[in-house]
C-alpha cells in the first residue's frame, strides 16, 4: 500500500486512477485501526476501484480536556492492516500539512450537531465538518464511507454534503462489535478489566429497548430512557451516564412520542473513558 503525507501526491494519484475510470472510495479515520475501520475499507474496495484511507488525529475536534495527546497512534500496524484489506493509498498528513498557522475558515453545521455529543463536546463537530470538508476537497472521492458507530457524525456530514452541494455520496456502514456486543472503538483499550466486563451492558440495554419499542411495550421517549437507565444503573459498577436519548433517525430532533424511524443513542463514562453506542429502531 502506498502512503503519503502530501496533498499534491494524493491529488496526482487520484487523478491517475480516475483516468483509468476507477471510482474513488474514501475512508477517513484517526488511525488505531480495528475491524470496524477495516469493514469500511472492505466495503469501499467492493464498490470502488481506488480506495484512499486517511489517518489523521485532528486536533480541531478534541476539546481542551480530552485525550488528543494520549489518543493511540501506531502507523506501522495501521499500514499492515490496510494492506491486508487492499487499500490503495494511505494519506497520513501532519497537522502542519493540514492547517496553516493563520488558518481562519471553518465549516460549521448548526442543527444536527446540537444535542447528544454536540452538547457533551463543545466545538467537536465544527472540527469534524472542517476536517472532512478539507479531506473531501483533497481526495475528491465519489463515495465516502462512515460508520454508524458515530451516528451523529454520520448525520452531520450528510447534512453538510447536502447543504454545500459537495459531490460525494456518503455511505453509512453498520457498527462492528466484539463477540460480547461491545462496539469496537480505538478507546476500548483504556477500559479497566472490570469495566471491560461491564461495558457490553450498553448494547444489551439498547437491544432490550429496541425490542420493547417493536413489541409496542413503550410509547414515549421517556419510557425508553427510563428503561435503559435502569439496566445500566443496575449493572454493578455504576458507570456515569452522559446521555441516553431517543431522536429522529435523520434530523436528530427530539421526540416525545415514539414515531417513525428513530435512533436510541447513549454515551456513558467508565472511569475516564467515554463510550458511545446506538441502535436504530422503527415503530411498527
Ligand atoms: P475514527 O477513527 O474513530 O475517527 O473512525 C473512523 C471511521 O470508522 C468513522 O466513520 C467511524 O464511525 C468508523 N468506525 C469506528 N468504529 C466503528 C465500528 N465499531 N463499526 C463501524 N464503524 C466504525
Ligand 1 center from residue 40 Cα (angstroms): 8
Q: Best of 27, 41, 149 to mutate for ligand 1, by most ligand atoms within 8 A of CB?
A: 149
Which residue, by CA, sits nearest to atom 8 of ligand 1?
Answer: 37
Instruction: Map grid coordinates 488511525 to a residue.
Output: 31
Contact 23, 48 (CB under 8 A): yes
Determine if residue 5 is left, alpha or beta; phi over 0 gives left, psi from -120 to 50 gives alpha, anything else beta. Answer: alpha
Sign of the CA dihedral 86, 23, 28, 266? Answer: negative
Contact 244, 225 (CB under 8 A): yes
Catalytic position from the list 28, 32, 37, 273: 37
| pLDDT value for 26 | 99
d(CA 248, CA 244): 14
Mean pLDDT score, 103-119 = 98
Query: Does the C-beta of 30 come closer than 6 Å to ligand 1?
Result: yes
Strands (E), 18-162: 24-29, 50-55, 89-91, 143-147
Mean pLDDT score, 247-259 = 97
| pLDDT value for 237 | 62
Contact 151, 22 (CB under 8 A): no
In the chain, what percentage of residues exceed pLDDT 70? 99
Mean pLDDT taken over the chain: 97
Mean pLDDT score, 13-17 = 98
Query: Does the C-beta of 182 come closer than 6 Å to ligand 1?
Result: no
Order of strands, edge to edge, in the sheet holding 2-4?
2-4, 89-91, 50-55, 24-29, 143-147, 169-173
**Nearest atom (ligand 1) to Cα of 174:** 21
d(CA 119, CA 124): 9
Mean pLDDT score, 248-256 = 97
The verdict on whether 37 is a catalytic residue reads yes
pLDDT tens per residue, range 125-152:
999 999 999 999 999 999 999 999 999 9
| pLDDT value for 235 | 80
Query: Does the C-beta of 171 come closer than 6 Å to ligand 1?
Result: no
Contact 21, 49 (CB under 8 A): yes
Ligand 1 center from residue 89 Cα (angstroms): 18
Q: What is the pTM of this model?
A: 0.98
d(CA 66, CA 29): 18
Give the distance, in angstroms, between the CA of residue 188 and the centroid of all CA atoms in the same chain. Answer: 14
Query: Does the C-beta of 152 come closer than 6 Å to ligand 1?
Result: no
172: three-class secondary structure by DSSP: strand
Mean pLDDT score, 96-116 = 98
Contact 61, 127 (CB under 8 A): yes
**pLDDT exceeds cutoff 90 at 234:** no
d(CA 53, CA 90): 5
Ligand 1 center from residue 56 Cα (angstroms): 13
Report the number of secondary-structure helices (H) and strands (E) in the chain. 10, 9
In the chain, what percentage of residues exceed pLDDT 90? 96
**pLDDT exceeds cutoff 70 at 241:** yes
| pLDDT value for 72 | 95
Mean pLDDT score, 265-277 = 95
Contact 34, 41 (CB under 8 A): no
pLDDT tens per residue, range 170-228:
999 999 999 999 999 999 999 999 999 999 999 999 999 999 999 999 999 999 999 99
pLDDT tens per residue, range 60-83:
999 998 999 999 999 999 999 999
Nearest CA among 53, 57, 26 for reference residue 128: 57
Which residue, by CA, sits nearest to atom 22 of ligand 1?
Answer: 147
Amino acid at each position: 500500500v502506498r502512503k503519503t503525507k502530501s496533498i499534491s501526491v494524493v491529488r496526482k494519484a487520484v487523478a491517475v486512477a480516475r483516468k483509468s475510470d476507477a471510482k474513488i472510495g474514501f475512508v477517513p479515520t484517526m488511525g488505531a485501526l480495528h475491524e470496524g475501520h477495516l469493514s469500511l475499507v472492505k466495503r469501499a474496495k467492493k464498490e470502488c476501484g481506488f480506495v484512499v484511507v486517511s489517518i489523521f488525529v485532528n486536533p480541531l475536534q478534541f476539546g481542551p480536556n480530552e485525550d488528543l495527546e494520549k489518543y493511540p497512534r501506531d502507523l506501522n500496524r495501521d499500514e499492515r492492516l490496510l494492506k491486508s484489506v487492499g487499500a490503495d493509498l494511505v494519506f497520513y498528513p501532519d497537522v502542519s500539512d493540514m492547517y496553516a498557522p493563520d488558518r481562519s475558515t471553518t465549516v460549521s453545521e448548526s442543527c444536527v450537531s446540537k444535542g447528544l455529543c454536540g452538547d457533551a463536546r463543545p466545538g467537536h463537530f465544527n472540527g469534524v465538518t472542517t476536517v472532512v470538508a478539507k479531506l473531501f476537497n483533497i481526495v475528491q472521492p465519489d463515495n465516502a464511507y462512515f460508520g454508524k458507530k458515530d451516528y451523529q457524525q454520520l448525520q452531520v456530514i450528510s447534512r453538510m454534503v447536502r447543504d454545500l452541494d459537495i459531490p460525494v455520496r456518503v455511505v453509512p456502514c453498520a457498527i462492528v462489535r466484539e463477540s460480547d456486543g461491545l462496539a469496537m472503538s480505538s478507546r476500548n483499550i483504556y477500559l479497566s478489566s472490570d469495566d471491560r466486563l461491564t461495558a457490553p451492558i450498553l448494547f444489551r440495554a439498547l437491544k432490550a429497548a429496541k425490542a420493547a419499542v417493536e413489541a409496542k411495550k413503550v410509547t414515549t421517549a421517556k419510557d425508553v430512557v427510563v428503561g435503559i437507565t435502569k439496566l445500566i444503573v443496575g449493572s454493578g459498577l455504576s458507570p456515569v451516564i452522559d446521555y441516553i436519548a431517543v431522536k429522529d433517525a435523520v434530523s436528530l430532533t427530539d421526540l416525545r412520542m415514539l414515531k417513525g424511524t428513530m435512533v436510541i443513542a447513549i454515551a456513558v463514562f467508565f472511569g475516564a473513558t467515554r463510550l458511545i453506542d446506538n441502535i436504530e429502531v422503527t415503530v411498527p
